[in-house]
Structure 1
Amino acid sequence: MTIPVITFFNNKGGVGKTSLVYHLAYILAEMRVRVVAIDLDPQANLTAAFLSEEELESLWETPEPVSTIFRAIAPLSAIGDLREPDLRRISQDLYFLPGDVSLSGFEETLSEVWPASMGDSNHYRPFRILSSFWQIAQMAGKKVEADLILVDVGPNLGAINRSVLIASSHVIIPLGADLFSLQGLKNLGPTLRTWRTAWKKRIDNWPNPEFDLPKGEMQPVGYICQQHSVRLNRPVKAYDKWINRIPGVYREAILQQETVDLRPEEDPLCLATIKHYRSLVPMAQEYRKPIFFLTPADGAIGSHANAVKEAYLDFQVLAKKIQAAVGFSNVLK
C-alpha cells in the first residue's frame, strides 16, 4: 500500500507554497497525523524554515551520506542505486527530509532519460531515475509509518517538477489574487494533463516493470487563496477582481469544466482563503516556529494573541478539508 503524496504546486512564485507546507505539516502532526515533509525545491526554502543556519551548514558541509534528498538519489547519476534517507524528527509525528541546493544538478539527468524511457530496451535505469522521488518518498514514509507525505517544489515547469508531479497522488494549487497567478493557473492545467498522459505512455511501454512505479495520478484536490491584506475579515476591494475569477479559471484550466460565477468563499473547491497575518510572520520566523505556536513570551500579546488563535483554527479547518478530500488513513479528531 502506497502513502498519499500531496504536492503544493504553482509555476508562479510568491504564492506561499513553502509556508503552506510548513504550517500544514505542523498542524497535521499536532492533530496526530504522522507526516513526512520533503523539500524538493532546489532553493531549499522549506529546509531553511525547518532548520537553523547552523544546522544547514552542518547538513550540507559534513559527509553524512544520506542527510538530504539529493544524497539519497545522487548514486543514480553514476552507477549506483537509491539509498534510504535519514529523516529529521521535528516533533512526535512530524518528520522532515531536507532539500539540497545541489539538487538542481539532477535536472539534466532527468531530462536525458525522459526520451530513453520510451525506447525498446534498457528500461531499468531510465525508470529508476524518473521515479526516484517517488521511491524515496515512499521509502521515507514507510520508514516512520507515515499517514501522509507533503512536498514543496520550486515555481517552474522543468524536469525536476515533472518527476515530482509524477510521484504525486494529489496536487493542491496555492494562488495569489493577481493576474500573474491566474496566468500561471491557465498554464498548469495543460501541463498536468500532458505529464499525466506522457507518464502513462511510458508505463505502458514497460508492461512488466522490475520494481513498483508511481501511477502519476496528480489528482487536483483544490486551490488555496492567500496572502491577501484583510480589512474587517474581507479582502481589500483592489483584490476582488482577481479573486472572483479564480473559481472559473480553476474549473476551465485544471478540471476542463464549464466556468462558474462564484466567489472563492462560496466555492467547494476553494480549500481556504488564508489571511495575511502581517507582523506575525516575521515574529514566527524569528522564533523559528509556526505562527499558531507563538506565545506571549514571543511577543504575541493583545491582538497578536487573538490572531495566533485564529491562525490555529484556520489551519485546523484546512487540514480537515484536505483529509476529507484525500482520505489518508488517520482520521482527524
Structure 2
Amino acid sequence: MKTIALFSHYGRIGSTTLLYHLAWMYAELGVRVLAVDLDPQAHLSSMLLDPDDLEAIWLTTARHQTTWGAIAPVFQQRAPLAEPAIHSITEHLGLLVGDVAWAEIEGQLASGAAQSPTAEDAALRLALALRQLLHDAAAQHEAQLILLDVGSNTGILNRVLLSVAEALLLPLAPNLAAWQALPYLGATLQRWQPVWQHWSAAHSPALLPATPLQPLGYVVMHHAVRLDQPLHAADRWLAAIPAAYRAALCPEAAPAMSADVADDPLCLALLKPYRSLMDIAKEARKPMFLLKPADGALGNHGLAVHACYRDFRGLAQRIAAGSVAIN
C-alpha cells in the first residue's frame, strides 16, 4: 500500500481535479484506491459525493464519518480513534470524506506554534492519529493505493498532513507564478524534513514514513492559452520547468538534457485542459474520460473523451510503475 500526496504551493492549478480523475482511472484499471480529502475546502468530497449525501454527513450527527471527525477524539485526548467511515464510490474506489473543520485545526496549531514543545506534541499526535486512520481504512478497503488531497499552502497543518505520505506528485502550470513558487516549496519541504524524521524515529515500530514525501515527478496542467497571455510566454515558462523542478525538489537528479518537458523523465504527463469536456463532466457528475454520447459527448467531444482516457491511463501507469499492480 502506497500513500501519495497531490500538493502544490501555488493554488488554482487543479490538484483536486487531477486527483479525482486519477482515483477514477485507478478504479477503472482494477486498482483498489482510497481517496482521502484533507483540504479544508473539501472540493474532492463535493466532486465524488451527491450533494444530498454530503449534506447528510455534514449537517447531522454523522459528522464523525469525516476525516476530522474520526481523528478529533484522539487529537483532543478524550477517546480512541474512531473507526474509519469509507464511502464507496465504486467497487474499487473509496472516499474518506473531508471536513471544513480542518481550517479551525490549522488555526489551533498555528496559535500554539510558539509554545513548543506543547504545540509539537499536538502536531505529532495529529500526525500519528491520521496515519493510523489511513492504516485502518486501507485494511478495511483492502486498498493498494491511497491518494491524499491537501490544501495549497505551506502552513503548519500541511506540515502535519504531508508527514503521513510516502510520495509527492506535484501539479504545475506553465506560468510565472507557478515557476516562482517552486523554490519556496522546495525550501519549505527541506525545512520540514528534519521534523518528520524526528517524528518517525521517535516511535517503534514507526507509524510514520522514515523518509516522507519523496518526489515522484510532476504533471504539467497545460491550461489553454488566453488572449492576454501570448503563446511564447507559456512556452517560455514550460521550458523553464525541468531545471526549476530539479533545483527545488530533486537537486540530486541528473540535469535535464532538454528544455522540452516531453523529453524529461521527471515529467509524468503534459495534460491538455479539455475545457469543453470538463463542463459536460460537471453536469454529468462523472470523470471526463467516462463520458458517453448520452451525456452529450458527441462528435469531436467523443474523440476528446478517448484521448482523455489515454492521457490519464498513461499517467496512472507511470505513477504506479513498480509499486502498484495494474490489470
Q: What TM-score comes out, normalization by structure 2 length?
A: 0.91
CA drift at 1:142: 1.2
In structure 2, C-alpha distance between the alignment counterparts of 1:108 and 1:49, rounded to whole Å: 26
Aligned-pair distance for 1:236? 4.2
Structure 1 counterpart of 2:326: 332
Structure 2 distance, partners of 1:194, 1:216, is 13
Give the AA of the match of 1:212.
L
Residue 245 of structure 1 aligns to a residue whose secondary structure is helix
Determine the structure 1 residue equivalent to 2:159. 162
Q: Secondary structure at the match of 1:7?
A: strand
In structure 2, the residue matched to 1:81 is 80
| Residue aligning to 2:44 | 46
2:295 paired with 1:295? no
Q: Distance in 2 between matches of 1:240 and 1:299?
A: 33
Equivalent residue runs for 1:234-253 within 5 Å: 236-253=231-248
Aligned position for 1:134: 131
Q: Which shows bigger deviation, 26-35 or 178-187?
A: 178-187
Name the residue aligned to 1:219.
Answer: 214
| Mapped pair 1:70 → 2:68 | yes
Mapping of residues 252-291 of structure 1, within 5 Å:
252-257=247-252, 260=256, 261-291=258-288
Residue identity opposite 2:38 in structure 1: L
| Structure 1 gap ranges (5+) | none
Structure 1: distance between partners of 2:277 and 2:100: 28
Aligned residue for 1:64, secondary structure, equals: helix
Question: What is the CA-CA distance between 1:118 and the residue it aligns to?
Answer: 9.5
Amino acid in structure 1 at the alignment position of 2:8? N
State the percentage of identical aligned residues.
39
- The one-letter code sitting in structure 1 at the alignment partner of 2:212 is E
Q: Number of aligned pairs? A: 319
Pairwise mapping of residues 76-225 of structure 1 onto structure 2 (< 5 A)? 76-111=75-110, 112=112, 115-116=116-117, 127-204=124-201, 206=202, 209=204, 212-225=207-220
Given that 2:131 and 2:207 are in contact with CA atoms closer than 8 Å, whether structure 1 keeps it comes out as: no
Query: Is the 8 Å Cα contact of residues 8 and 21 (structure 1) preserved in structure 2?
Result: yes
Report if aligned partners of 1:12, 1:155 keep a CA contact under 8 Å in 2.
Answer: yes
Contact 1:82 1:132 in 2 (8 A): yes
Do the aligned partners of 1:35 and 1:149 also contact (CA within 8 Å) in 2? yes
Relative to structure 1, the CA distance from residue 169 to residue 203 in structure 2 (aligned partners, 3 Å threshold; closer, same or farther) is closer
Measured after TM superposition, the shift of residue 149 of structure 1 is: 0.0
Secondary structure, aligned partner of 1:156: coil
Q: What letter matches 1:54 in structure 2?
A: D
Post-superposition Cα deviations, 1:49-86, rounded to whole Å, max 9, x if no partner, equal: 11122122111011025311010111122422321210
Measured after TM superposition, the shift of residue 319 of structure 1 is: 0.5
* Equivalent pair of 1:72/1:83 in contact (CA under 8 Å): yes
1:215 shift after superposition: 2.5
How far 1:197 moved relative to its partner?
Answer: 1.5
Give the CA deviation at 1:227.
Answer: 3.5
Distance, in Å, in 1 between the alignment partners of 2:233 and 2:300 is 25
- Return the offset for 1:300: 0.3
* Contact preservation (8 Å) 1:66, 1:85: no
The one-letter code matched in structure 1 to 2:90 is S
1:294/1:308 contact within 8 Å kept = yes
Do 1:252 and 1:259's aligned partners in 2 also have CA atoms closer than 8 Å? no
- 1:138 Cα offset (Å): 1.6
The CA deviation at 1:216 is: 4.5
DSSP-derived class of the 1:131 partner: helix
Instruction: Name the CA distance, whole Å, in 1 between partners of 2:77 and 2:287.
Output: 39
The 10-residue stretch of structure 1 (303-312 or 211-220) with the greater mean CA deviation from structure 2: 211-220
For the residues of structure 2 that align with 1:236 and 1:244, how far apart are their CA atoms? 12
1:18–1:300 Cα change, 3 Å: same
Q: Aligned equivalents of 1:97 and 1:182: distance in 2?
A: 32
Listed one character per residue, the Cα deviations across residues 76-132 of structure 1 (whole Å, up to 9, x for unaligned) are 22422321210110011000011011121222444447932798xxx6x66332322
Change beyond 3 A, Cα 1:118–1:289: closer
Residue aligning to 2:3: 5
Q: CA deviation at 1:165?
A: 1.2
SS in 1 for 2:103: helix
Q: Distance in 2 between matches of 1:181 and 1:249?
A: 10
Cα deviation code 1:148-204 (max 9, x no counterpart): 000111110012211121101000100011111111111111111221122213444
Structure 2: runs of 5+ lacking an equivalent = none
- The root-mean-square deviation of aligned C-alpha atoms, in Å, is 2.3
Letter in 2 for 1:332: I
8 Å contact from structure 1 (residues 39, 153) kept in 2: yes
For 2:56, the equivalent position in structure 1 comes to: 58
User: Does the aligned pair in 1 maintain the 2:196–2:212 contact within 8 Å?
Assistant: no
Offset, 1:212: 2.9
**Inter-partner Cα distance in structure 2 for 1:241 and 1:126:** 41
Q: SS at 2:210's partner residue?
A: coil
Question: Which amino acid in the other structure matches residue 250 of structure 1?
Answer: Y
